[in-house]
Structure 1
Amino acid sequence: MQLALAMEIITGAKIRLRTRKNKYLTAGSDKESVRLERDGSAKQAVWTVEFVDGKSSIRIKSIYGKYLTATNEPLIPKAKGHKVLQTLPERLNSSTEWEMESDDTFGKDKLLRFKTHYGQYLRPYGGLPPFRNKVGHDVPCRTQTEDKIQWELEILETGDR
């Protein structure tokens, strides 16, 4: 299936994004933060997809009506990655746009990568604090970490088309 067709299918859809370690991308109840949680049944784990007119990008909207946004803010001081937040900018811009990439678009695994306008990828972080359950964006530095930027797409409800 072509990526453009896949984008058409998920436009307006309610989705969940799951990491390879079975954690879900969730909107923080503070209506700003984004984190990873094991409970995918929580309403904060449900996102809506919007197609960006005239581009091959999407916007991902939280249950709070805010967009998944790549920021320039460091994830933690002196770290390579940058924060991803929920925001509602006055004007929607490229920081709220994500390009979907896949080696086998919506094949059996539905594994996707989400790339910012600047070539960085939505990435889950794990391990010990302060990285535990954080979500950011950066470029993987080794081929061993490339699978960490893959997300499994779960379509809960298709869009109104």
Structure 2
Amino acid sequence: MELLAGAKIIRLRTHKGKYLIAGDDEESVRQDRDGSMKQARWRVEFVDGNDGVRLKSCYGKYLTATNEPIVPRTKGHKVLQTLPTRLTSAIEWQVERQGSELRFKTHYGQFLRPYGGLPPYRNRVGHDVPCRTHTEDKILWELDILESVDSVKSQENAIH
């Protein structure tokens, strides 16, 4: 969790160099190589009482683990942007460090992961448990801290 300490705005990059992107429809989540767009920026909210975080898109919606399958009759589930009426475990992610990379785990033990390959999987993002050792690296995310709490405080002090 120390990698996220003090982070306010982050960007997450997959092992293939694609970024976690909030879809323009303000509901979907996908991957894209262009990390400079505003949709690649996620606000970090720390959950009191545990090591969890909530990630909020540029549209003010939370990264949410759903029970809806990515494709019918598959084990992977969709990740969406939602604005729930109350804060639940579906929008909380436990952060685990592995070297310099992070894994984001749901309350039920599944991991945020990018999907690739042919449609309908191409550039999708979901959550599940990798079933093979060669897919374990697919749940690892590289972290870019774009704005930290300290940088915001120093900007505020410079103004005053």
TM-score normalised to structure 1 length: 0.90
CA contact (8 A) 1:7 1:51 kept: no
Amino acid at match of 2:40: A
Matches of 1:61 and 1:15, distance apart in 2: 10
Are 1:9 and 2:6 an aligned pair?
yes
TM-score by length of structure 2 reads 0.91
C-alpha distance in structure 1 between counterparts of 2:102 and 2:50, whole Å: 18
Aligned match of 2:136 in 119, 140, 146?
146
Identity %: 67
Q: 1:102 & 1:146 partners in 2: Cα distance?
A: 13
* Structure 2 counterpart of 1:24, one-letter code: Y
Unaligned runs of 5+ in 1: 105-109
In 2, distance between residues paired with 1:40 and 1:89?
27
1:24 is aligned to 2:14: no
| Residue 80 of structure 1: how far off its partner (Å) | 1.1
SS at the partner of 2:112? strand
Aligned positions, number: 151
Larger Rg: 2
What's the counterpart of residue 54 of structure 2? 59
Q: Structure 2 unaligned segments of length 5 or more: list them.
A: 154-160
Q: CA deviation at 1:135?
A: 0.2
Q: Does 1:45 align with 2:37?
A: no
* Residue 9 of structure 1: how far off its partner (Å): 2.1
